[in-house]
Amino acid sequence: MLNVGDKAPDFDLPTDTGRVSLAALKGRKVVLFFYPKDDTPGCTTENIGFSAAKADFDAAGVTLVGVSKDTVAKHGKFRAKHGLTVELGSAADDDMVERYGAWIEKSLYGRQYMGIDRSTWLIDGAGVIRRIWRKVKVGGHVAEVLEAARTL
- The answer to whether 35 and 51 are in contact (CB under 8 A) is no
Which residues are CB-neighbours of 149 under 8 A, at least 6 positions away? 29, 31, 57, 60, 62, 122
Q: How confident is the model at residue 83 (pLDDT cuts 50, 70, 90)?
A: very high
Examine the pLDDT at 68 and tell me if it is beyond 90. yes
Asked whether residue 65 is domain-assigned, the answer is yes
Cα separation of 57 and 97, whole Å?
23
Q: What is the per-residue pLDDT for 108?
A: 85
Q: What is the per-residue pLDDT for 53?
A: 98
Mean pLDDT of 18-25: 97
Asked whether residue 67 is domain-assigned, the answer is yes
Q: What is the per-residue pLDDT for 1?
A: 86
Q: How confident is the model at residue 40 (pLDDT cuts 50, 70, 90)?
A: very high
Number of domains observed in the structure of the chain: 1
Asked whether residue 100 is domain-assigned, the answer is yes
pTM (2 decimals)?
0.94
Cite the active site residues.
43
Asked whether residue 111 is domain-assigned, the answer is yes
Q: What is the domain extent for residue 51?
A: 31-150
Asked whether residue 24 is domain-assigned, the answer is no
Q: What's the whole-number average pLDDT of the chain?
A: 96
Asked whether residue 51 is domain-assigned, the answer is yes
CATH label of the domain that carries residue 75: 3.40.30.10
**54: alpha, beta or left? (left if phi > 0; alpha if psi -120 to 50):** alpha
CB-CB neighbours of 114 under 10 Å: 10
